[in-house]
Amino acid sequence: MRRVTAALVGGLTLLAITIGLILAHAPMTVAGSDRPAGQPEEPIAASHEYNSYCQGGETLPSGTSALRVWLDTIYGPRVEVAVSSQGRRITSGERHSGWVGGSVTIPVKPLRRTVSGVTVCVSFRVRDETVTVQGNATPVASATREDGQPLPGRMWIEYLHPGERSWASLLASTARRMGLGRAAAGIWVVFLAIGLAAAVIVLAAGLVVKELP
Amino acid sequence: MRLVRRIPRAAWICGLIACLNAVCWSLVTPAFQVTDEPAHFAYVKQLAETGRLPSSSSQETAAEEGAVLRALHQGAVRLRPQNQTIATQAEQEALERELAATPHETGSPEAGVAASQPPLYYALEAIPYTLASSGTVLDRLQLMRLMSALFAGLTAIFAFLFTRETLPGEPWAWTVGGLSVALAPLLGFMSGAVNPDSLLFAVSAATFYCLARAFRRGLDTGGAVAIGVVTAIGLVTKLNFVGLVPGILLGLIILSIRARRASGSSAWRPLALALALGFSPVVVYAVINALSGDALLGQVSWRASSIQSVPAEINYIWQLYLPRLPGTVNDFPGLFTTRQFWFDGYVGLYGWLDTTFPSWVYSIALIPTAAIALLCGRALVGARAALRSRAAELAVYATAAVGVMALVGAASYTVFPEVDAEYAQARYLLPMLALFAAALALAARGAGRRWGPTVGTLIVVLFLAHDIVSQMLVAARFYG
């Protein structure tokens, strides 16, 4: 029984520390983007095989730790991204397959300084499925290139870095938003959810202590 | 009633925990941001308001539901992890205006992907829908979500009872199995939404329990009625239940042969009873189809006639779950399907499968999973003599599990190669939650008599942590 209690207390303490670390962490915010505000995305290319799409004239903001690229598919393939300046790779990253939706976020190694005039190359290999590259129409000179050939537009890329505010400092605004779009809107939803989670923890811990020798 | 009274208090508490957890998930997840929830809502609306089944699988929703989806920006948030739900008081007021202004129209004949499903879950959901009929679409949705949460409780209770029947030696291990299922985040997520999976999980766990009970105590009339009834309920809940049928049939045959050895020819009566009860919905369905000139078994008939190449399909289904065999065509180049579809999908894929943890979380999750698998393996090796004597029972569970997996694979193959793995979603394997509970209880026992309860505690805390962090992930994605 003593060992069970110790394991329970140790485990719950570790959980509390994990939650604390998550709350101390700052969520990603957009440091730079070539996505025009209010403009809907449009397909500029579709791929059924291995493809690499390169886009010049980009600016990599300092501290960028992930790139969000507008690729649309049902089951996303492994995606690699490489950022080059003057022909030299300055950072890169990859995202394993399994992402779903209209965009994919790829973690990259952050740089301390902002670098202008970089080229971002996004590559992936698909078979059977289709990956659509989303963006908006642009003149040929500034368009994204596939095997050196210009596409009808530029793909959207957002540069993400950790924001200045931690999740802990965003709790109030997150809770307020969580209370919206409900049957009976209000912050009570958050308190009820927290209460239920607490009840689950207390009941589970109590049952473990009672039933496990 | 006597049976209900015999359920241990620990099982009830596991059920309560699963239920509360699913209610919590129903509050954390925004309205209509769970896979196919708008379609399932439309089905209930049609059934509750007209008494008729949906007639079309068109995605077009009724005006009332469509207006709410638009006011919630559902289309812009769904599959777009960079977009969050409504964030301002002005948007909330616009939503409330929409809720008040949109005229109510009766029924919703278009129910999208839900249209082909049998009606039991939707008929049950018609109760909360009708109770909240004077309220808004969101009132009805929340009450329906609470109904689904009740099914999570049943799932945990039956998972506990299945563990008790299959591993009777160590009562503390039943709690490990039951609690782990109660706290499984994917169960909470799916049962905190309007989705027939919630009832499917419960009836599947009940099926495994009834089979285990019959293997332990013999197939009597009561046991046969129970197996027949849960089979019938399963068949009118969701088509996926068909995957369990080969296991149920094998179980009934083995149990009948055993009973015949003990009591002679009268042992076939329970078998006939179970089959008659269990497959009565299929007979009714086939008669209705025959009278209306449709294929006898509806979608199942269509599926059977659409098979092009059996070896290619078997190869595909194999590779959907396991590494490909030498000399076979690679249907998933560059993918380790076991890990990427199923393991990662179980660890965290919420919302419309658009809400994921950072990649490293999935890699870290391999460590406790490997430890649990090793402990489970150790327990199985230690109990190999007992396993041999229960080989037939294990074969039944394995057949049921393979049936579920094959059904998901066969459904995915219908759209392959246009889509690699349409139904490769971990939730489709949750009908096997009872087996999952027993495996976790076994893993705890694998740590030995001295350390077993401690390891069991750590497993429960692991599931609790996974559940809470998953809810935080969903909250961050939609409201952060």
Q: What is the pLDDT of residues B25-67, one digit of tens each?
A: 999 999 999 999 999 999 999 999 999 999 887 878 888 899 9
Q: Does A96 touch chain B (CB under 8 A)?
A: yes
> Does B334 sit within 8 Å of A180, measured CB to CB?
no
Domain count, chain B: 1
* CA gap A5, B401 in Å, rounded: 35
Alpha-carbon distance values, A135 to A34, A44, B78 (Å): 9, 6, 19
Confidence of residue B305 (pLDDT cuts 50, 70, 90): low
Q: What is the pLDDT of residues A156-195, one digit of tens each?
A: 999 999 999 999 999 999 999 999 999 889 999 999 999 9
Q: What is the pLDDT of residues B199-210, one digit of tens each?
A: 999 999 999 999
Chain A: closest CA distance from residue B24 (Å): 5
Chain B: closest CA distance from residue A180 (Å): 6
Summarize the confidence of residues B388-393 as an average pLDDT: 96
The secondary structure of B305-334 as a DSSP string is: HT---HHHHHHHHHHHHSPPPTTS--SSTT
**CA dihedral in degrees (A183, A186, A190, A196; nearest 10)?**
-50
Q: Does A189 touch chain B (CB under 8 A)?
A: yes
Looking at residue B303, what is its pLDDT? 64
Chain A: closest CA distance from residue B47 (Å): 22
> Does B456 sit within 8 Å of A212, measured CB to CB?
yes
Summarize the confidence of residues B92-107 as an average pLDDT: 88
Confidence of residue B2 (pLDDT cuts 50, 70, 90): confident
Q: What is the pLDDT of residues B253-291, one digit of tens each?
A: 999 999 888 877 677 889 999 999 999 998 988 888 788
Burial B393-419 (b: 16+ CB within 10 A, else e): beebbebbbbbbbbbbbbbbbeebeeb
B175 interaction partners in chain A (CB closer than 8 Å): 207-208, 211-212
**Tokens representing residue B479 in the block:** 């409201």
Distance of CA B90 to the CA centre of its chain: 38
| A30 backbone dihedrals φ, ψ, rounded to 5° | -80, 120
**Tokens representing residue B249 in the block:** 């049939």
Confidence of residue B307 (pLDDT cuts 50, 70, 90): low
**Domain encompassing residue B392:** 2-479
Looking at residue B26, what is its pLDDT? 98
* CA gap A6, A130 in Å, rounded: 52
* Residue ranges for chain A with pLDDT beneath 50: none
Q: Does A103 touch chain B (CB under 8 A)?
A: yes
Residue of A nearest to B345 (CA): A98
A127 interaction partners in chain B (CB closer than 8 Å): 333, 417, 420
Looking at residue A127, what is its pLDDT? 73
Q: Does A200 touch chain B (CB under 8 A)?
A: yes
Chain B: closest CA distance from residue A119 (Å): 23
> Does A11 sit within 8 Å of B461, measured CB to CB?
yes
ipTM score of the complex? 0.94
Summarize the confidence of residues B242-252 as an average pLDDT: 97
Contact present, B68 and B95 (Cβ < 8 Å): yes
The single residue listed with the structure tokens 């296991």 is B247
